[in-house]
Amino acid sequence: MRAIVACLGVLVGVHLGSAAELPLVKVLSTGGTIASRYDPVQKGFVPAVSGEQLLEGIPEIKAIARVEVETIATIGSSDITPEIWLKLARRANEVLADPAVAGVVVTHGTDTMEETAYFLDLTITSQKPVIVVGAQRAASIKDTDGPRNLMNAIRVAISPEAVGKGAMIVMNEEINAAREVTKTSTLDVGTFRTLEFGKLGYASEEGVRFYRAPLRRQTIPLAADTRLGRVEIVMHYAGADGALIRALLSQGKLDGLVIAGLGLGHVSGAMFDAIEEVRAKNIPVVISTRVYTGRVLPLYASKGSGVSLVKIGCVEADNLSPQKARVLLLLASTRTKDPKELANYFNH
């Protein structure tokens, strides 16, 4: 009889083990559109669905994993802060240290999802998968993409192939690496893309399949007393003269600055003067670019170009976007303020 049941199971692709044998996944929920409902009083979507409620809507998950949920926050991801990153990373590290846990899934708004994913990628010390997931269509919309995305996130979190690949975003049946992925569309469900190198793989009902692995990964473990400073981003645009940088300096609270420069990482001569004032106070400055793909490089030597910026101790961000460079600077600057040592983190 047992053989017949097992055979049937293989035929219909059903896992016949008892629930206790299924892998355990911890879901840490933070809010976002995946957890939002239309509020007729406020006349718009608001985060309102707890982690438990999110999972109640997807009973199919019980066939592939045991899931335990913790609600970390119920907020839009525009309200995510570095303090929440610390809380989330610490909790994820604790949870992953439990040998019974296969992986962690973080539900999150899409707006700052790539920053949270990269922060987790840098600070999770376990090899187990950490999957960040959200939705572009709110939970109260009939064809919301949330349940499908969450189910696929769980599939990746329990996949042996996902081990050692760090934090990943799983949405629209695609798996993208935290360091590389960015939100590319305000509304499109296929918003998360790795523009330069492409997705890592697919996750769907048909299974999880990887085609490549992220190579430029590093871990900066959090200490019990790690405190993150104030690191700001200033963008360059035609006519930018450094007034915003001087305004930040005058507040006296700046611990690091990322410049979203032009092209290969260029700024005007006027903005260069303001950056020099920041460097004179030994505050780390990282040069990124507002261009979506490619590295910043010191190829030009005029005032404000790469060669002059490196000469005053600015660090080049390789191909990290300004928002990802800020995440790395937040963490690296807890270890060092020396430009050469900081450059090692950005060249890693």
Question: Any contact of residue 32 with ligand ASP (CB under 6 A)?
Answer: yes
| Sole window of 96-104, 108-116, 143-151, 198-206 interacting with ligand ASP (rule: CB under 6 A) | 108-116
| Sole window of 16-24, 85-93, 107-115, 333-341 interacting with ligand ASP (rule: CB under 6 A) | 107-115
In the complex, the smallest distance separating the C-beta of residue 324 from ligand ASP, rounded to whole angstroms, is 17
Residue type, 275: I
Question: Any contact of residue 306 with ligand ASP (CB under 6 A)?
Answer: no
The crossing angle, in degrees rounded to 10, of helices 339-347 and 322-332 is: 130
First to last CA, the chain: 57
Q: Tell me how crowded residue 310 is: count the other CB atoms within 10 A of its CB.
A: 17
Build a one-symbol-per-residue string for 228-247: x at contacts with ligand ASP by CB under 6 A, - elsewhere.
--------------------
The correct pick among 111, 232, 241, 273 for binding ligand ASP (CB under 6 A) is 111
The correct pick among 51, 82, 103, 109 for binding ligand ASP (CB under 6 A) is 109
Residue 32 or residue 322: which is nearer to ligand ASP going by CB? Answer: 32
Please give the residues from 124 up to 143 whose contact with ligand ASP meets the rule CB under 6 A: 134, 136
What is the rounded distance in angstroms from the CA atom of residue 257 to the CA atom of residue 322? 10
Question: Any contact of residue 77 with ligand ASP (CB under 6 A)?
Answer: yes
Question: Any contact of residue 166 with ligand ASP (CB under 6 A)?
Answer: no
| Sole window of 103-111, 123-131, 287-295, 325-333 interacting with ligand ASP (rule: CB under 6 A) | 103-111
In the complex, the smallest distance separating the C-beta of residue 74 from ligand ASP, rounded to whole angstroms, is 10
Instruction: Tell me if residue 107 is catalytic.
Output: no
Residue 111 or residue 273: which is nearer to ligand ASP going by CB? Answer: 111
Element (H or E) spanning 73, and its range?
A: strand 66-75
Q: Which residue's C-beta sits nearest to ligand ASP?
A: 109
Q: Tell me how crowded residue 123 is: count the other CB atoms within 10 A of its CB.
A: 23
Residue 76 or residue 304: which is nearer to ligand ASP going by CB? Answer: 76
What is the rounded distance in angstroms from the CA atom of residue 113 to the CA atom of residue 172? 14
Which residues neighbour 287 within 8 Å (Cβ) at sequence distance 6 or greater?
Answer: 258, 259, 261, 265, 267, 296, 306, 309, 314, 315, 316, 317
In the complex, the smallest distance separating the C-beta of residue 259 from ligand ASP, rounded to whole angstroms, is 25
| Sole window of 4-12, 13-21, 104-112, 303-311 interacting with ligand ASP (rule: CB under 6 A) | 104-112
332: tokens are 């690296």
The correct pick among 110, 126, 194, 308 for binding ligand ASP (CB under 6 A) is 110
Which residues neighbour 131 within 8 Å (Cβ) at sequence distance 6 or greater?
Answer: 103, 104, 105, 106, 153, 154, 156, 157, 162, 167, 168, 169, 170
Alpha helices in the chain (DSSP H): 2-12, 51-56, 82-96, 113-123, 146-157, 243-251, 269-280, 306-311, 322-332, 339-347
Residue 77 or residue 172: which is nearer to ligand ASP going by CB? Answer: 77
Q: Which residues bind to ligand ASP, rule: CB under 6 A? A: 32-33, 76-77, 109-111, 134, 136
Q: Tell me the catalytic residues.
A: 33
